Amino acid sequence: MDKNIFRRRTHEAQQMRWRLRSRRAMTITFAVTISWCTAAVAGGSLTLAQLARNEGWHPDHESVPGYLDLDKDIPRDFPVPDSAHELSASNAVAAAGVKGVTAAQATTFYREAFARLNWSIRREMHLPGYAVFVACPQTGRCVNLSVADPGGAVSPAGMKMTFFDRDAKP
């Protein structure tokens, strides 16, 4: 009788281990799928978090000494073209900027990216060497995005992103 109880408990423990392993595998599969979907939003894109990690930042807002981090209100999954570099961001204000993106690149990239992400473009303005987008998702934080070409009429050159609550209208 005692041996059967021991065997049953051992079998139950083994089943629990298998369940945990399968849950971990499903969680990892889900996380990998999400990251692939985010990376495939638009051809040749990175997220702000990926760009920050590539440049040696610590984007998860854990305030690790010696590392720069992004403000908690900056969406980590916001797409940027893969030509973007030299990230500059605040850890106190929901604003970020990158270099290496022209107005023409940003226009084609973000029209496609916002359509795929199901964001609505509230405002769009184009001048030679300059573009502005104000776009919002169904829920979450909106972005005011402006891009100026290097050597153009508007300075400083680069792409600036300011994130704000959907209720606040720019």
**Complete DSSP assignment for 57-103:** --TT----TT-----TTS-TT-EEETT-EEEEE-SSSSEEEEES--H
Mean pLDDT in residue range 10-19: 73
- Quote the pLDDT of residue 104: 93
Q: Looking at the predicted structure, is the pLDDT value of residue 65 above 70?
A: no
Mean pLDDT in residue range 33-48: 60
Structure tokens at 166: 């959907």
Q: Looking at the predicted structure, is the pLDDT value of residue 148 above 70?
A: yes
Q: Looking at the predicted structure, is the pLDDT value of residue 33 above 70?
A: no
What is the spatial distance between Cα 44 and Cα 26, in angstroms, rounded to a whole number? Answer: 28
- Quote the pLDDT of residue 32: 43
Q: Looking at the predicted structure, is the pLDDT value of residue 85 above 70?
A: yes
